[in-house]
Chains A and B, each alone.
Chain A
Amino acid sequence: MSAADCEPRGAGWGILDDLPGDPMIWVLIFSELAAFGLFLGAFAVARAIHPAVFAVGQAALDPGLAGLNTVVLVTSGWAAARAAKTARASESRATQSWLLTAMGLGGLFVAIKLGEYAEEIGRGIGLETSPFFTLYFLLTGFHLLHVCLGIIILALVCRRAEAFGVETGTAFWHMVDLVWIVMFPILYLVR
């Protein structure tokens, strides 16, 4: 294998080479955005068809807890962005500290969300309670899986803490953040 084979940038991905991190992560990011976009669109259509059922379902949610989780995830995204910045400046220690902060806050998001699920399930709410809760659990559960995957990716790039890997990992993390920012008002607040 030649040195050129290991070259992370300008590796023949065309216009994808101009994006931060590995072009392959951007293929994944755009695929995930398309999937979440379709999912959120389906939720919006279902609400238009069953407004009363969705209003009752939404009233059973805790928007304060979801708002707290928004603050947690946004702060995690900020820490991840700082990690990418310090990684580009070759400051490995600072990069690892920022990544650990981002992962810790990601873990807190998961804990809050699981606590929210436990409280809802404790009240007898489940996947089959209503069409609202079927879509609510599927959408937020799918997102929660992405948060867990994002934490694993950040942990993987944290060891070497070099710019290319950190940019790749944090790009995925910001996609997870972006999806939640749009999903939160649509599920919890829009009437």
Chain B
Amino acid sequence: MPDRLDITWIALIGLALATILVPPLVPRPLLGNALLLALAAVKGRRIALDFLDLRAAPALWRGLVSAWILMVVLFAWLTSAVSALI
């Protein structure tokens, strides 16, 4: 019977394969980049919660790691969007 760790692992493999498929399937850079980085954020959060075991940790630590993930992907998307729009 798969537990939460197994389900997270399977989900991460599926999301990693989906990530590879985004560039050829979504040729528009703004949308494609948003999808790629959203997938990265989802994968990162699953690792933080289930592998890094922050699900049971105080909200402060969950929030800090989630904020790091969000800040990095949002900044990457914003800079790529600015570059595409100029």
CB B42 to nearest CB in A, in angstroms, measures 10
Q: Is B76 within 8 A of A190, CB to CB?
A: yes
Q: Which residues of A contact B29 (CB under 8 A)?
A: 191
Closest to B36 in A: A185
Q: Is B51 within 8 A of A78, CB to CB?
A: yes
Q: Is A191 within 8 A of B13, CB to CB?
A: no
Cross-interface CB contact of B82 among A30, A48, A64, A80, cutoff 8 Å:
A48
CB A157 to nearest CB in B, in angstroms, measures 15
Which residues in chain A, 46-93, are within 8 Å of chain B measured between CB atoms? 47-48, 51, 63-64, 67, 70-71, 74-75, 77-78, 80-82, 84-85
CB B15 to nearest CB in A, in angstroms, measures 9
Closest to B42 in A: A181
Q: Which residues of B contact A170 (CB under 8 A)?
A: 51
Cross-interface CB contact of A80 among B51, B58, B65, B68, cutoff 8 Å:
B51
Cross-interface CB contact of B8 among A44, A78, A175, A184, cutoff 8 Å:
A78
Closest to B22 in A: A189
CB B28 to nearest CB in A, in angstroms, measures 10
Chain B contact residues, majority secondary structure: helix
Q: Is A20 within 8 A of B53, CB to CB?
A: yes
Chain A contact residues, majority secondary structure: helix
Q: Is B40 within 8 A of A182, CB to CB?
A: yes
Q: Is A47 within 8 A of B80, CB to CB?
A: yes
* Measured CA separation A78–B5 after assembly (Å): 7
Centre residue among A19, A41, A182 by max chain B CB count within 10 A: A182
CB B65 to nearest CB in A, in angstroms, measures 7
Number of residues from A at the complex interface, CB < 8 A: 44
CB A107 to nearest CB in B, in angstroms, measures 19
* Measured CA separation A161–B16 after assembly (Å): 30
Q: Is B51 within 8 A of A174, CB to CB?
A: yes
Q: List 16 extra interface pairs beyond A63-B23, A78-B12, A191-B80, CB under 8 A.
A: A44-B79, A47-B83, A64-B20, A74-B43, A77-B12, A81-B51, A167-B53, A170-B51, A174-B47, A174-B51, A178-B48, A178-B69, A185-B37, A185-B39, A186-B40, A191-B32
Where the two chains meet, the residues of A that have a C-beta atom closer than 8 Å to any C-beta of B are 15, 18-20, 26, 30, 33, 37, 40-41, 44-45, 47-48, 51, 63-64, 67, 70-71, 74-75, 77-78, 80-82, 84-85, 167, 170-171, 174-175, 177-178, 181-182, 184-186, 189-191
